[in-house]
């Protein structure tokens, strides 16, 4: 990522919290109370995925009404989506993979970004382009902590946010790795709690996730 997050203050989204909640919202009206619950629980970086028609409105609402949140856009797949997310107020961008066109758009947006990788060759290609912070996806299916440990030796300059198949039991194992800044997950925003608008439960789950910093390692 190439530019600092405007708020909360941090050099990188990888440094905001040990866990980045990955949020899928069907109703943009739920965005603000959900984000407030996550922030209250200690998770200020929130990735709203572009998997529903409500996503851009949700990002816009959180950016405008929850000053303690650093709302980002996930599942960003095209230059058009990059522009739409930046215009909506996204403070970081996350993609499951990358192409030259997508990378150029993310770089040109001025918004911090995490392009997705799952192989050593993809990591090397991004390092060659000056990108040192990446999403490792799908983390568990792509080799999990063993794979990331293997990358740390030859590619120590790369830092990752592993996402995909990670839960509270496995997150500490990832956070203990020197090349992992934080992890992405959805266990603190279960679909049934969102559907029931049980913001208190989500805040409690978020607090537990935020506490994983001490349980498994550091989120530098």
Q: Which residues are catalytic?
A: 47, 135
- Among residues 95, 132, 135, 99, which one has the least CA distance to residue 118? 135
Question: 141 phi and psi, to 5 degrees?
Answer: -70, -25
Which residues on neighbouring strands pair with residue 94, listed in sequence order?
A: 114
The torsion of the CA quartet 186, 187, 192, 198, rounded to 10 degrees, works out to: -100
CA angle 69, 194, 57 (to 5 degrees): 55
């Amino acid at each position: 990522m190439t530019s600092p997050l405007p708020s909360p203050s941090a050099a990188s989204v990888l440094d905001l919290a040990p866990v980045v909640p990955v949020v899928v919202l069907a109703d943009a009206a739920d965005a603000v109370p959900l984000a407030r619950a996550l922030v209250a629980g200690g998770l200020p970086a929130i990735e709203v995925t572009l998997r529903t028609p409500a996503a851009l409105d949700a990002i816009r609402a959180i950016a405008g009404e929850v000053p303690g949140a650093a709302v980002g856009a996930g599942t960003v797949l095209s230059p058009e989506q990059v522009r739409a997310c930046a215009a909506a107020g996204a403070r970081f961008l996350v993609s499951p993979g990358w192409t030259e066109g997508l990378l150029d758009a993310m770089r040109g947006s001025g918004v911090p970004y995490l392009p997705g990788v799952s192989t050593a060759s993809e990591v090397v290609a991004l390092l060659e382009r000056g990108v040192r912070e990446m999403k490792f996806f799908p983390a568990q299916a792509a080799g999990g902590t063993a794979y990331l440990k293997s990358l740390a030796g030859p590619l120590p300059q790369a830092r990752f946010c592993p996402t995909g198949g990670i839960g509270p039991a496995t997150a500490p194992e990832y956070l203990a790795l020197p090349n992992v800044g934080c992890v992405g997950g959805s266990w603190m925003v279960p679909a049934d709690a969102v559907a029931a608008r049980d913001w208190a439960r989500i805040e409690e789950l978020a607090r537990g996730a935020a506490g994983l910093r001490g349980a498994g390692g550091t989120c530098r």
